[in-house]
Amino acid sequence: MSSFRKAALNDVLHRVPKPFNFEGKISELFGQNVFHAEVMREFLTEEAYDSVMAAVNNGASIDRKIADQVASAMKDWAISKGATHYTHWFQPLTGATAEKHDAFFHPLSAGRAIERFSGDLLVQQEPDASSFPNGGIRNTFEARGYTAWDPSSPAFIIGKTLCIPTIFISYTGEALDYKTPMIKALAAIEDAALQVCQYFDKNVTKVNTTLGWEQEYFLVDKALFNARPDIMMTGRALFGHAPAKGQQLDDHYFGSIPDRVTAFMRDFEIEAIKLGIPVTTRHNEVAPNQFECAPMFEEANLANDHNLLLMDLLEKIARRHDFRVLLHEKPFKGLNGSGKHNNWSLSTNTGVNLLRPGKNPKSNMQFLTFLVNTIAAINENADLLRAAIASASNDYRLGANEAPPAIISVFLGSHLSKVLDDLEKSIKAGKMTPEDKTELKLNIGKIPQILLDNTDRNRTSPFAFTGNKFEFRAVGSSANCASAMIALNAIVAKQLREFKMNVDGRIKKGENKDEAILKELQRLIKASKKIRFEGNGYGDEWVKEAEKRGLSNLKDTPRAIKVLTDKKTLSLFSELEILTPVELHARQEIEYEAYVMKVQIEGRVMGDLAQNHLIPAVIEYQNRLINNVKGMIEVMGDKEGRELCATQILLIKDISRHLNKLKELVDTMLQERKNANKIEDMEKRAEAYCDKVRIHFDEIRYHADKLELLVDDEIWPLPKMREVLFTR
C-alpha cells in the first residue's frame, strides 16, 4: 500500500479519545471571556457605561474622552484575564476573519515600560491591508484601509489576545468588509419595521433583527486529511469512489456520537460558551462524519460575529483532537452537503416576535403584515437573494443530494397558505362595510398559535416559514452569514418602506387604517403568488414548473452574481444607504475573482493528482498484469496462455481505456485553463472557468473512480472514501 496512505490509516487505528474533563457548572463559564454589559458596569464609570449602551442600543456615537475610558477599562479587564495583546478583529471579503496583534506592552525608557491601550487604538487602526480583496477600490485612490470599533458587538479574549470587533473600510470610506453593510442593512430594516409597527402598537420604540444559524460541518481525521492533497487544498474530495455504505441507511442521523467526537464537541462547546456563544444543540447529521451545531438565536450582528468565531473555534479545537473540520459545502460527492440555515425574524423591544402568530386580531394583522411583506420582497428580489448565497463551493451543493435547488421559492405550509389564499379572496373590491371588516378580523384572529407545531417540515425549500421565523436554507456552510443577511434585510426593508408609503397613501385618500392595510396585503398576496411553492423542491417537475412561472434557475456563481450590478440592485442599495455603486461593483469583481481562483486551484490539484499520483499507480498495476500474461503465455503457450488470461487481458484493456480518457481530459482541462487565463475581463474569465474548465471535472473524476475500482487496493495511493468517512 502507498506508504502515505498506510501510515495515515495506521495513525487513525491507534487514536484514543483525548481525555477531556470538566467538572462544574457550564453556566458559570458563560461569557467568561467577554467584555459584556455586566463586566462593563463593573469596570466603567456610569457615564461611560451609559454611552456604550446607547451605542449598542441606538447606534449613538461615542466621543473621544469616553473611548479613552472604555479602552483603559478594557485593557485592565483583559490584563486581569492574562491577555498581553490586542487586535482589531474584522471581516474582510475573503470570507474568513482577520486580525493583527499588537502588544499592550510599551517601553518608555531604559528599564521602564507600561501596559498601554488608549481610546485612539480602540477606535481606529490602520492594519496593513494590502493583501485583502478590494475589487479595485484601493488601487484607484489610496492603498490604506482602516478598521473602526463596532461597540455594538462586545470585545472578547481568545488565548492571550483581546479581540475588538471592527468594521474595515478604505481610506476613502468604502466598505471592504461584511460588517459595515451588515450594520447598515440592519439599521435600514429596523427603521422600516419600526415605522410599520406603529400601525399596530405605538409603544414599540425599537425593532431588532434576530438570527439563529445552524452550522453543519464534517470531521475528518487529521492523518487522512493530510494524505488527501485534494481535501487539504480545496476542502473537498476531487476523487474517490462512493463507499459501499453511504448514507442510505440513515443510521448516522441522530445516531450515537463516537467518543472521540464527543470529547471534541465538549471541548469546543466549553470554549464557545466562554466566548458567550450560546451553543445548545449538537447532533449527527445525515451523512457519515457530518455534524451540526446550533446556538440560541441572538441579535443579528452579534449572532454573525458569533458564527465567525465559532467557525474559527471549530478549526482550532478540532486540531487538538487530531481532527480537521471541513466547512466546504460539498466535501463528498453523493453525500449530503453542508449548509448554514439562517433562521431570521424581527422582534420588538416590547418582546413581540413579529413573525409569530398572535393571540388576537390586531397582533395577527401585524404578523400577517410582516409575513406578506417578506414574501413580497423575496418575490420581487429572488435573484438578489440567490446572488447573496452564490459561491464556487455552494454551486456543488445547491440542487444536489438533499440540498435546496438554486431556484428561490418560499414555503409556508398548507395551513398558512390557505390563510393567505382566503384573505385574498375574502377582501372585496370597493369600500368595505363595517360588517366585512369585523368578519375579516374575526377570521384573522383565528390564525392559531398552534401553527408552530403544525408547520410542515418541508426540507426541500430554500426559504421556509417555520412557525415563528423564516429559515433561509440555501446559505452555504462556509459563508459569512452577513452576505445573505445584507440582501434579505435590505429587500425586506425596501418592501416595508413601500408598504408604509402605500398604506399611508390609502389612508390619505380616506380609507381607514385597517382597510388600507388589508387592501395592501391583498395586493401583495396576489402579486407574489408565483414565489410560493409547497411541493417537492428536489423534483424535476419543479424545475419545469418554476420555468413556467418565470422564476430564475441560476445554476452557477458567474451567472448568479451578474445581478449585483443591475440598475435595480444599484438603486436599491443606494436608496437604503447600504452599499454604493462603487462598492457593489467592487464586490462583484471580488466574487468573480474568488470564483476563478477556487476553480483554478481545483483544476490544478486535480491535474496534479491524476498525473503524479493516480496514473503512475495505475500503470504499475497494469504492468503487473502484463507481466502475468506474458509469463502465462511463456508457460502455457500462446493460445492456451491467452485463453487462461482472458480476465487479465480484459482488465488491461479496461484500464487502458480509462487511463487514456483520463489523460486526454486532464490535458484538455489544462489547455482550457490556459485559454481562460488569457481573458482579461473577470466576468468573462469566470464564465470560461465555469463552462470550459470546471465542466471537465466530473468526467475526469468518473474515469479516475473507475480506475480506483480496477486497481489493486494495495497500490492505490489515496485514502479511499470509506476510510476518510468511517474511520474514527
What is the contact surface with ligand ADP in residues (CB under 6 A)?
A: 210-212, 214, 294, 296-297, 341, 343-345, 353, 466, 468-469
Q: In sequence order, what E strands does 422-469 have? A: 463-465
| 56/155 Cα distance (integer angstroms) | 12
| 503/199 Cα distance (integer angstroms) | 10
Residue 353 binds which entry of Mg ion, ligand ADP, none, with Cβ cut-offs from 5 to 8 Å by kind?
ligand ADP
Report CA-CA distances (Å) from 714 to 4, 456, 623, 721, 726: 12, 49, 15, 15, 19
Residue 468 binds which entry of ligand ADP, Mg ion, none, with Cβ cut-offs from 5 to 8 Å by kind?
ligand ADP
Q: In 3D, which of 696, 699, 716 has the Cα closest to residue 707?
A: 716
Shortest distance (Å) from residue 303 CB to Mg ion: 14
**Distance from the first to the final alpha carbon of the chain:** 20
Shortest distance (Å) from residue 692 CB to Mg ion: 37
Length of the chain measured in residues: 728
Q: Looking only at Cα atoms, what is the longest distance across the chain?
A: 105
Tell me whether residue 464 or residue 594 sits nearer to ligand ADP (CB atom). Answer: 464
**Of the listed pieces 76-84, 339-347, 589-597, 608-616, which binds Mg ion according to CB under 5 A?**
339-347
Report CA-CA distances (Å) from 617 to 63, 66, 223, 695, 718: 67, 67, 21, 26, 10
Taking a C-beta distance cutoff of 8 angstroms, is the pair 187, 167 a contact? no
Shortest distance (Å) from residue 298 CB to ligand ADP: 8
Shortest distance (Å) from residue 340 CB to ligand ADP: 11
3-state secondary structure of 510: coil
Shortest distance (Å) from residue 294 CB to Mg ion: 7
Residue 210 binds which entry of ligand ADP, Mg ion, none, with Cβ cut-offs from 5 to 8 Å by kind?
ligand ADP
Task: Give phi and psi for 204, each to the nearest 5.
Answer: -75, 125
Shortest distance (Å) from residue 281 CB to ligand ADP: 7
Tell me whether residue 34 or residue 464 sits nearer to Mg ion (CB atom). Answer: 464
Task: Give phi and psi for 212, each to the nearest 5.
Answer: -125, 110
Sign of torsion, CA 681 684 687 691?
Answer: negative
The residue whose grid cell reads 390564525 is 447
Tell me whether residue 117 or residue 367 sits nearer to ligand ADP (CB atom). Answer: 367
Residue 296 binds which entry of ligand ADP, Mg ion, none, with Cβ cut-offs from 5 to 8 Å by kind?
ligand ADP
Tell me whether residue 119 or residue 404 sits nearer to Mg ion (CB atom). Answer: 404
Tell me whether residue 182 or residue 525 sits nearer to ligand ADP (CB atom). Answer: 182
Tell me whether residue 92 or residue 212 sits nearer to ligand ADP (CB atom). Answer: 212
Shortest distance (Å) from residue 341 CB to Mg ion: 4
Taking a C-beta distance cutoff of 8 angstroms, is the pair 509, 587 a contact? no
Shortest distance (Å) from residue 213 CB to ligand ADP: 7
Residue nearest to ligand ADP (CB): 212
Residue 455 has which C-alpha cell?
Answer: 408547520
Residue 260 binds which entry of Mg ion, ligand ADP, none, with Cβ cut-offs from 5 to 8 Å by kind?
none
| 250/601 Cα distance (integer angstroms) | 33
Q: In sequence order, what E strands does 91-144 have? A: 98-103, 105-109, 112-115, 124-125
Shortest distance (Å) from residue 340 CB to Mg ion: 10
Q: Is 469 in the site for Mg ion (CB under 5 A)?
A: no
Report CA-CA distances (Å) from 130 to 166, 172, 568: 17, 15, 31
Taking a C-beta distance cutoff of 8 angstroms, is the pair 582, 676 a contact? no
Tell me whether residue 166 or residue 343 sits nearer to ligand ADP (CB atom). Answer: 343
Tell me whether residue 338 or residue 569 sits nearer to Mg ion (CB atom). Answer: 338
Shortest distance (Å) from residue 585 CB to Mg ion: 34
Shortest distance (Å) from residue 384 CB to ligand ADP: 21
Shortest distance (Å) from residue 206 CB to ligand ADP: 16
Q: By CB under 5 A, what part of segment 181-240 binds Mg ion?
A: 214
Number of residues located near Mg ion, criterion CB under 5 A: 2
Tell me whether residue 471 or residue 591 sits nearer to ligand ADP (CB atom). Answer: 471
Q: List the beta bridge partners of residue 207.
A: 348
Residue 345 binds which entry of ligand ADP, Mg ion, none, with Cβ cut-offs from 5 to 8 Å by kind?
ligand ADP
Tell me whether residue 456 or residue 498 sits nearer to ligand ADP (CB atom). Answer: 456
Q: Is 340 in the site for Mg ion (CB under 5 A)?
A: no
One-letter amino acid identity for 113? A
Shortest distance (Å) from residue 375 CB to ligand ADP: 17
Report CA-CA distances (Å) from 107 to 72, 87, 117: 17, 19, 13
C-alpha 99 chain-centroid distance = 21
Q: Is 341 in the site for Mg ion (CB under 5 A)?
A: yes
Report CA-CA distances (Å) from 412 to 421, 461, 536: 12, 10, 13
Residue 297 binds which entry of Mg ion, ligand ADP, none, with Cβ cut-offs from 5 to 8 Å by kind?
ligand ADP
Residues contacting residue 545 through CB under 8 Å, at least 6 positions apart: 533, 535
**Of the listed pieces 338-346, 382-390, 506-514, 548-556, which binds Mg ion according to CB under 5 A?**
338-346
Tell me whether residue 330 or residue 469 sits nearer to Mg ion (CB atom). Answer: 469
Report CA-CA distances (Å) from 330 to 61, 265, 676, 728: 43, 22, 25, 20
Taking a C-beta distance cutoff of 8 angstroms, is the pair 75, 67 a contact? no
Residue 269 binds which entry of ligand ADP, Mg ion, none, with Cβ cut-offs from 5 to 8 Å by kind?
none
Tell me whether residue 451 or residue 704 sits nearer to ligand ADP (CB atom). Answer: 451
Q: By CB under 5 A, what part of segment 358-387 binds Mg ion?
A: none
Report CA-CA distances (Å) from 406 to 285, 382, 399, 564: 22, 10, 6, 17
Residue 97 binds which entry of ligand ADP, Mg ion, none, with Cβ cut-offs from 5 to 8 Å by kind?
none
Residue nearest to Mg ion (CB): 341
How crowded is residue 201: how many other Cβ atoms within 10 Å of its Cβ?
Answer: 13
Tell me whether residue 457 or residue 657 sits nearer to Mg ion (CB atom). Answer: 457
Residue 96 binds which entry of ligand ADP, Mg ion, none, with Cβ cut-offs from 5 to 8 Å by kind?
none
Residues contacting residue 713 through CB under 8 Å, at least 6 positions apart: 1, 720
Q: Give the footprint of Mg ion on this chain (CB under 5 A).
A: 214, 341
